Amino acid sequence: MKRRGKAALCLGMTGVMAVGTMLSGCGKEQTNGKVKIEVVQYKPEAVDVFEELEKKFNETHDNIELVIDSPNDAMTILKTRFIREDYPDIIGIGSDVNYSNFLDSDMLMDISDFDGLDDIKEAYLKTDKEMEYVPMDGVYAMPYMANASGVLYNKDMFEEHGWTIPTTWDEFTALCERIEAEGIQPLYFGFKDSWTCLAPWNAIAADLAPSDVCSEVNKGNTTFTDNYREVAEKEKALLAYAQDNPAAYGYNDACTAFAKGESAMFVIGSYAVPQIKSVNPDMNIDSFVFPASNNAEENVLNSGNDLQFSIMKNCEHKEEAYEVLRFFMEDENVQSYIDDQSAVPCKKGDFELPSMLDGMKEYINEGKLADYQDHHYPSEMSVDAMIQTYLLDDSKNATDKFLKKFDTEWVRYNRDLIRKVQDYEKENGSKQLKEGIRTMNKKGKTNDRERTFLLITIPVLVLFSALTHYR
């Protein structure tokens, strides 16, 4: 494979390449006789807890030296290192499009035989499988920590006024109207920072949009126009309950306003709590799942893998790398990370969660979760800016324009990926037909329904896929 293709992908560009044969060794033995395992993780805000974990590991292991790097802008550093073929042993990143690209490039090790996977909640393993562009055998990441997004609320304010937690969209809007009628601002947004527009978007979409919508769009089976209309309309509807001109205020402004009691609720992720607490350490914060539909049974928590660990395919010391992962997964170390980062553990077990997640614990424990839609969006597409522009657009056809642009831009930034996915689907359909005919011949007979499906339906689907692909 040409080095140029590898560099393009590692710089965040689209494109598909196979780099397995180009990977160089890592995890080399040191002069002290120990095996060095290098971890590069992308959350600089967690540097303190990882420094403690590194120290603890090295004090308790005689044969392995653990080095954990927590640089600023870790993704850029990792991609640059990949170009130089300078690979760490383990990377700690989120389950997002970067993970999908590394996986698609055959850079990550299959860790299906890692015994610690049995302790991971199935819902978080499932979200990783949904990040595969085409179905793959194996497991390529160990989900470690998640976050949760929904509605943070001022618990003392709710108790003082006798407000109850809503479980449907109608109840939520009625609550907003009641809060407003009592002279209090229901919501506060920091849409000047466009990325914050994704918080309500993801929380609403968790209820209203299929978790695999991006995959189905790539296959040519649906469009975002068909799946995102209600999501877009309901996020826009929230503006009626927010402060004037929310695009004039940034994330820090919104955190500060909520901390000072200037709004009763804040539609944001759990990651905002440390910022809020820095303004008002004594604030009594709780949360609830965003009720985007009018069927309370459909409510799911918007939660995704915020930090997971993958072993690079070229790692020469697999067992030592596994030992590092086992160490991370020890209950005491998991709890240390939870306490430091107000995180949601991906590991099964009775962990002490931050009190501001009390209203979400039922969903966390039961695995009633849906990933963040934006984990599938390429950064170059700038979906956050698209949503921001849409929210500021007061024209009657604003939603139609936004959805049309979403579909158009998706094809623009995912053209190569779409081709790859549809080629896979076409090939897979042909294999399905051949296998069905083979089975039919082996049986020697089949009923009319089976024969119609095998000889007519599948070829039609394959032809349709091909025509859609090359139109």
Alpha-carbon dihedral sign for residues 361, 363, 369, 375: negative
What is the distance between the alpha carbons of residues 119 and 125, in angstroms, rounded to a whole number? Answer: 11
At 360, is the secondary structure helix, strand, or coil?
helix
Q: Are 331 and 51 in contact (CB under 8 A)?
A: no
State how far Cα 28 lies from the chain centre.
33
Helix (H, G, I), strand (E, B) or coil at 305: strand
Write out the CATH class of domain 148-303+376-413: alpha beta
DSSP state of 351: -
pLDDT tens-place values along the chain, 471 residues long: 333 333 334 444 333 333 333 334 455 556 578 999 999 999 999 999 999 999 999 999 999 999 999 999 999 999 999 999 999 999 999 999 999 999 999 999 999 999 999 999 999 999 999 999 999 999 999 999 999 999 999 999 999 999 999 999 999 999 999 999 999 999 999 999 999 999 999 999 999 999 999 999 999 999 999 999 999 999 999 999 999 999 999 999 999 999 999 999 999 998 899 899 999 999 999 999 999 999 999 999 999 999 999 999 999 999 999 999 999 999 999 999 999 998 999 999 999 998 889 999 999 988 899 999 999 999 999 999 999 999 999 999 999 999 999 999 999 999 999 999 999 999 886 555 445 545 544 444 445 555 444 445 544 444 444 444 444
Q: Answer yes or no: are the C-beta atoms of 136 and 100 closer than 8 Å.
A: no
Instruction: Encode burial over 101-136: b for 16+ CB neighbours within 10 A, e otherwise.
Output: bbbbbbbbbebeebebbeebbebbbebbebbebbee
Q: For residue 354, what are its two tokens?
A: 């931050």
| Three-point CA angle 66, 70, 73, nearest 5° | 145
As a CATH number, domain 3-146+305-349 is 3.40.190.10
Q: What angle do CA 350, 353, 355 make, to 5 degrees?
A: 140
